[in-house]
């Protein structure tokens, strides 16, 4: 379509410019948190990575734009400034949102398989490989013995 000469182009271009600038506006709305020490800020970073957004499920509250994540970041920052430990912050959210809220689930009866499963599988696999290798070696040795016998 040849629309280059039509007055609509100008309007279209304006729209494009507007659309392109939208992501920039979104980035401009980043929250600001102030901390007394760089150490507090580092703790805030790691805690917000470790806490999971209950609304969007597979994002940490650091990544998520959901309203609730903003609230949780704010509360995290507040608690850090008030001198609460990392453990206390995580427990605070766990009490309200359940174990789900932490990317590091506690070690208990319901999470036993989760924590020990990979180790058990690794161990079983290791034992299997060792056994297979031994058997293969034994077979190879026996064969080698036979060959030697034949040579003699």
Partner 1 sequence: MSRYLWGLIPLFIFAALALLLNDGLGRDTETLPSALVGRPVPEFELPAMASAQDSYDQSIFTGRWSLLNIWATWCPTCYVEHPYFIELARSGVAIVGLNYKDNDDKARNYLAELGNPYTEVLVDKRGTLALDLGVYGAPETFLINPEGKILLRHAGEVNARVWEEKFVPLMADGMADYRAQQGGPQ
Provide the binding-site residues for partner 1, judged by CB under 8 A. Answer: 54-55, 57, 66-68, 71-72, 75, 94-98, 100
**CB neighbours (10 Å) of residue 42?**
11
Q: From CA 126, how far away is CA 130, in angstroms rounded?
A: 6
Task: Provide, rounded to whole angstroms, the least separation between the CB of residue 2 and partner 1.
Answer: 43
Full 3-state SS string of 52-67? ECCCCCCCECCCCCCH
Task: Provide, rounded to whole angstroms, the least separation between the CB of residue 66 and partner 1.
Answer: 8
Q: From CA 58, how far away is CA 77, in angstroms rounded?
A: 22
Give whichever of 1 and 32 is closer to partner 1, judged by the CB atom. 32
Give whichever of 33 and 97 is closer to partner 1, judged by the CB atom. 97
Give whichever of 12 and 123 is closer to partner 1, judged by the CB atom. 123
Give whichever of 95 and 148 is closer to partner 1, judged by the CB atom. 95
Task: Provide, rounded to whole angstroms, the least separation between the CB of residue 136 and partner 1.
Answer: 16
Full 3-state SS string of 116-145? HHHHHHHHHHHHHHHHHHHHHHHHHHHHHH
Task: Provide, rounded to whole angstroms, the least separation between the CB of residue 127 and partner 1.
Answer: 12
């Amino acid at each position: 379509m040849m629309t280059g000469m039509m007055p609509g182009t100008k309007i279209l271009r304006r729209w494009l410019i507007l659309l392109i600038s939208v992501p920039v506006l979104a980035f401009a709305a980043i929250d600001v948190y102030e901390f007394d020490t760089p150490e507090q800020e580092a703790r805030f970073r790691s805690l917000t990575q470790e806490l999971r957004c209950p609304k969007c499920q597979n994002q940490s509250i650091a990544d998520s734009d959901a309203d609730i994540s903003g609230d949780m970041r704010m509360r995290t920052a507040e608690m850090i400034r008030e001198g609460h430990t990392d453990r206390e912050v995580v427990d605070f959210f766990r009490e309200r949102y359940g174990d789900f809220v932490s990317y590091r689930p506690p070690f208990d009866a319901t999470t036993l398989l989760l924590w020990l499963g990979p180790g058990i599988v690794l161990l079983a696999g290791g034992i299997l490989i060792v056994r297979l290798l031994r058997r293969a070696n034994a077979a190879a040795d026996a064969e080698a013995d036979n060959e030697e016998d034949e040579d003699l």
